[in-house]
Amino acid sequence: MKKAVVTEKCLGDPICFARLKCPSKAIKKSNRRTRMPIWFFKYSEVQPDKCVGCGTCVKNCLHKAIKLIPVEEHLYV
């Protein structure tokens, strides 16, 4: 089984299509702000306990900032 992780390519767009399209609602906005000077640009993060590894987020991320990795390699931070 695989789980999704958000990479450093995330720009923290206010409208994250990957988050909106996720069937298990596993992607949420984190409290970490991005490099953008606007307050509502926050990074996305995947909640591994909710992720089902379907890959919908990977297909819908405009910045290609989400990837699927095997569960064995997944780091819970």
For position 57, which CATH number holds?
Answer: 3.30.70.20
- Say which residue, 13 or 23, is predicted with more confidence: 23
**Containing structural domain, residue 10:** 2-73
- At 18 the pLDDT is 95
* pLDDT tens by residue, 22-70: 999 999 988 776 565 565 678 889 999 999 999 999 999 999 999 999 9
- At 14 the pLDDT is 83
- At 73 the pLDDT is 52
- The distance of Cα 10 from the centroid of its chain, to the nearest Å, equals 8
Number of domains in the chain: 1
How much is the pTM?
Answer: 0.78
